[in-house]
Amino acid sequence: MRQVLSWRFVASIVALALIAVGIYLAFGREESIAEVVRGQRPPERRADLISLVYSTERDEFSVAPNGRTRGQLTLILPTDPPAIARIYPNTPGEVTCTDLDQIGQCAVVADLLGDAVVRFALVPMGPQFTFELPPIVELDGGYATLLNGWQVPYADIIDRDRCDSPAESFSEFLEIVGNRHRSLFNLGRKEITAVVC
């Protein structure tokens, strides 16, 4: 009669049990999972549209606490003829510009899929056709990756005069200053041209 439980079968079961215990100990506790999630960077997304917003049309538009839109927002962009970008319900985004109803007071940074806005940020316009964006965490291939994951073009030379730093290069500046700065995007040049601390 053939033996049902061979030593190889028992060894395989024990090995699987030890692997399961190891995975549980490494990732099974809530605090371990929280630590892993906390250390992750936001997903990178290339900004396909960066523009002044000439005016807006709202249809019960708001951004819910989960960062998704309710209602619809139509952005009229200052091109000739005027272009339109529509933000539909349930689109991820953020709005820090409080003057949506005022002409030319906001800028839009958006990730597009064809003509559809798949993620966006509406930010207030600053002086001299510029607006502030989050800190730069990395420069690569002509694009600056920002703290929130957006990737936007940057100038060959980024003005650091408004930050009191002895850094001789921008990479050294990032090591010294870290995230304690903000990026200035120049709409006329379509790139980050300076940082402020």
Q: How far apart are CA 58 and CA 130, in angstroms?
A: 25
Q: What is the pLDDT of residue 24?
A: 53
Predicted TM-score of the model (pTM): 0.75
Give the pLDDT mean for 31-46: 57
- Residue 130 tokens read as 């510029």
User: With bands split at pLDDT 50, 70 and 90, how would you rate the model's confidence at 142?
Assistant: very high
pLDDT interval class at 44 (50, 70, 90): confident
- Rounded to the nearest angstrom, the gap between the alpha carbon of residue 85 and the centroid of all alpha carbons in its chain is 19
Closest to 186 measured CA to CA, from 79, 120, 118, 107: 107
Write the DSSP assignment of 30-94 as a string of letters. HHHHHHHHHTPPPPPEE-SEEEEE-EEEEEEEEE-TTSBEEEEEEEEE-SSSPEEEEE-TT-BEE
- Cβ(51)–Cβ(129) below 8 Å: no
d(CA 55, CA 38): 37
Residue 41 has pLDDT above 70, yes or no: no
pLDDT recorded at residue 36: 40
Domain map of the chain by residue range? 7-38, 42-125, 128-197
Rounded Cα distance, 54 and 190, in Å:
17
CB atoms within 10 A of CB 112: 15
Radius of gyration of the chain measured on its C-alpha atoms:
24
Residue 74 clears pLDDT 80, i.e. is over it: yes
pLDDT, mean over the chain: 85
| Contact by Cβ (8 Å): 106, 53 | yes
When mean pLDDT is compared across 28-32, 129-133, 144-148, the lowest value belongs to 28-32
